[in-house]
Amino acid sequence: MQFLDLAKIRVRSGSGGNGAVSFRKEKFIEFGGPDGGNGGKGGNVIIRTQESLNTLIDFSYRRNYFAGNGKSGSGRQRHGSNGKDVILEVPIGTEILDESKAVLLFDLVKKDQEVIFLQGGSGGFGNAHFKSSTNQAPRFSNPGMDGKELTIFLRLKIFADVGLVGLPNSGKSTFLAAVSNAKPKSGDYPFTTLYPKLGLVNWQDYDFTIADIPGLIQGSSDGKGLGDRFLGHVERSAILLQLIDVTSQDPLKDFEIINNELLNYGNGLADKPRIIALNKMDLLKEGDIDLINKMSKIKGLYKLFSVSALEKKGLNQCLDELVKHLIAERLQKLEMSEKGSSAWTP
Q: Give 100-106 contacts, CB < 8 A, sequence gap 24+.
A: 101/153, 101/155, 105/152, 106/47
CATH no. for 162-339: 3.40.50.300
Share of the chain above pLDDT 90, in %: 54
Closest by Cα among 105, 7, 109 to 65: 7
pLDDT for the residue numbered 198: 83
Q: Sorting pLDDT into bands at 50, 70 and 90, what band is 161?
A: very high
Q: Sorting pLDDT into bands at 50, 70 and 90, what band is 248?
A: confident
pLDDT for the residue numbered 307: 93
Q: Which amino acid is at 81?
A: S
Residues sharing a CB contact under 8 Å with residue 22, sequence separation 6 or more, in sequence order? 34, 35, 36, 37, 74, 75, 76, 126, 127, 128
Architecture of domain 1-156: Distorted Sandwich (2.70)
pLDDT for the residue numbered 230: 75
Residue 186 has pLDDT above 90, yes or no: no
pLDDT for the residue numbered 191: 42
Residue 166 sits at φ, ψ, to 5 deg, of: 165, 170
The residue among 222 and 228 whose pLDDT is bigger is: 228
Residue 149 has pLDDT above 80, yes or no: yes
Residues sharing a CB contact under 8 Å with residue 7, sequence separation 6 or more, in sequence order? 56, 59, 60, 153, 154
Give tens-digit pLDDT for 15-24: 999 999 999 8
Q: pTM higher than 0.75, yes or no?
A: yes
Q: Which amino acid is at 100?
A: S
Rounded to whole angstroms, the Cα distance separating 239 from 188 reads 27
Residues of the chain with CATH 2.70.210.12: 1-156
Of all helices (H) and strands (E), which one includes residue 205?
Answer: none
